[in-house]
């Protein structure tokens, strides 16, 4: 990219200003200053709710509140991906119009150890030998992510470090081959995993990917969605309510219900607002998506990249 050999890429480059943008005035990112990339999804810690103690909503909520999201953003994502601020799972500020007021900024950016203690104590857990213990069991689980996904692998280690300091037993399962990880994620053979959400023009697509049990499958068989195997009649009703109407007000009610389910049941814990990774060069072509002309999501991984190509004009 920096030499002009590639016109369009979608990579998380750790030092993008020095290593790419400063090399040529013809090198560009979607935003000219930090965070450089547009947000297009919600990165979350996905819980496999078939595993104990992750089948307990209180444990899932405590885990979420023990995470230092600001640390993930700065250290794991080089400040390219902002920390998630609402437990309801919306991509903010894009989806502010759907935001339930009580869920505004309810995720403590550096974590909240006092709330972790309060939730687990109320749920019957006791601190024994420096570890949360209940019925002879401790809060033990792994976070599975590919080592080649260096940002997610770093995020997983940061989460484990924070939670272990709060009395949990968290390990990182660094998988060498992303293909193996993708299969494990689809088959439900994981404890937790950091994963991006579905993308789409409304929050419905996020929730459908996280919560729609009709897309899931028994553990050991590949799922098309709901990889954490969460099942909720209330979630299914809200998804059906949204999909079954064109009324904006009814759809907003459905999104509010889904926000509340995510915030209280925590089948996934929102972590970050995922970047639409895109670096472009105007050396050979102009017409790339920009904030002033956002005709298409800017990253080259979209299945509709031909639409972007058709907007390009050769410089010569």
pLDDT digits (tens, 9 = 90+) for 10-52: 988 888 999 999 999 999 999 999 999 999 999 999 999 999 9
CATH number of 145's domain: 3.10.105.10
Give the residue carrying structure tokens 């200053």. Answer: 33
Q: Are 273 and 95 in contact (CB under 8 A)?
A: no
Of 149, 155, 141, the closest CA to residue 175 belongs to 149
Place of tokens 């299914």: 236
Cα separation of 22 and 109, whole Å?
31
- Asked, for residue 17, whether it belongs to a domain, the answer is yes
Whether 260 and 282 map to the same domain: the answer is no
Pair 267, 286 in one domain: no
Grouping H, G, I as helix, E, B as strand and the rest as coil, residue 76 is helix
Residue 201 has pLDDT above 90, yes or no: no
The answer on 219 and 160 residing in a single domain is yes
Closest CA to 78 of 181, 2, 27, 151: 151
pLDDT for res 14: 83
pLDDT digits (tens, 9 = 90+) for 58-88: 999 999 999 999 999 999 999 999 999 999 9
Write out the two tokens for 240.
Answer: 């059906």
Same structural domain for residues 24 and 143? no
120 shares its domain with 241: yes
Q: Is the pLDDT of residue 298 over 90?
A: yes
């Amino acid at each position: 990219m920096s030499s002009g050999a590639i016109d369009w890429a979608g990579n998380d480059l750790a030092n993008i200003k020095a290593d790419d943008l400063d090399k040529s005035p013809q090198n560009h990112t979607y935003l000219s200053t930090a965070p450089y990339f547009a947000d297009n999804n919600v990165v979350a810690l996905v819980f496999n709710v078939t595993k104990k103690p992750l089948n307990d909503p209180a444990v899932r909520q405590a885990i979420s509140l023990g995470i230092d999201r600001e640390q993930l953003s700065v250290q794991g994502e080089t400040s390219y991906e902002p920390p998630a601020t609402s437990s309801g799972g919306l991509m903010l500020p894009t989806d502010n119009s759907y935001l339930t007021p009580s869920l505004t900024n309810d995720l403590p950016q550096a974590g909240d150890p006092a709330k972790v203690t309060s939730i687990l104590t109320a749920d019957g857990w006791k601190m024994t030998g420096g570890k949360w213990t209940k019925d002879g069991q401790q809060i033990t689980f792994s976070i599975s992510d590919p080592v080649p996904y260096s940002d997610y692998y770093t995020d997983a280690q940061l989460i484990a470090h924070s939670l272990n300091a709060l009395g949990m037993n968290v390990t990182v399962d660094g998988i060498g081959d992303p293909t193996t990880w993708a299969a494990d994620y689809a088959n439900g053979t994981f404890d937790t995993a950091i994963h991006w959400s579905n993308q789409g023009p409304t929050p419905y697509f996020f929730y459908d990917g996280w919560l729609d049990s009709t897309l899931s499958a028994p553990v050991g068989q590949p799922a098309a969605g709901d990889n954490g195997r969460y099942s909720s009649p209330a979630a299914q009703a809200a998804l059906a309510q949204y999909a079954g109407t064109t009324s904006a007000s009814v759809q907003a009610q459905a999104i509010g219900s889904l926000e509340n389910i995510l915030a209280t049941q925590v089948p996934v814990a929102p972590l970050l607002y995922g970047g639409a990774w895109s670096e472009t060069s105007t050396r050979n072509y102009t017409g790339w998506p920009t904030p002033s002309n956002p005709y298409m999501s800017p990253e080259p991984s979209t299945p509709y990249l031909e639409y972007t190509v058709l907007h390009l004009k050769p410089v010569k």
